[in-house]
Amino acid sequence: MRPKASMDLSLAPVAAEIDSNLQPLREKATAEEIEAALQLATNRTPISDTREERGDRVLDLALRNVELHGWEVEMTDDNARLRLSGGSVSLDLGLSASISRFIEGGVSGGA
């Protein structure tokens, strides 16, 4: 596949940085470990502990110190991937089963 727009050239570096930011969370097995890692990395505790807030916190960590070069990033509806869009293509980056379960249920298992 060849780039069709100039911003397509920045997709790989942006995706690689986001993927690198997510790697420490992917290595966590439990919701408690993910919560602790999020609090440590972002220096903030949850306010309402809702599905949306947990997803936003994971997204914040994923985008931390990443220059997006015009790409837009959003969580997919199933909380399993981050979708990068804005160029001539889009790309989904997978989270992990444990991150998806954390977003859906939080530390207590249900929100």
**Per-residue CA distances from 84 to 16, 25, 69, 91 (Å):** 12, 19, 11, 5
90 domain residue, yes or no: yes
Flag whether 30 is in a domain: yes
Task: State pLDDT tens for residues 17-34.
Answer: 999 999 999 999 999 999
Boundaries of domain holding 89: 8-105
Please report, for residues 6, 89, 96, 108, the alpha-carbon distance to residue 50 in angstroms, rounded to integers and kept in the order given: 38, 31, 19, 11
Quick check: is 111 in a domain?
no
Domain assignment present for 1 = no
Which DSSP category does 102 fall into? H
Beta strand 81-85 pairing with 91-94: antiparallel
In total, how many domains does the chain have? 1
> pLDDT of 38-63, one tens digit each?
999 988 888 888 999 999 999 999 99
Beta-strand pair 91-94/72-75 = unpaired
92 within some domain? yes
For residue 74, what is the DSSP state?
E
Closest CA to 102 of 54, 68, 48, 41: 54
**Domain-located, residue 3:** no
**Each residue's pLDDT tens digit, 53-103:** 999 999 999 999 999 999 999 999 999 999 999 988 899 999 999 999 999
Helix 11-26 with 31-42: angle, nearest 10 deg: 120
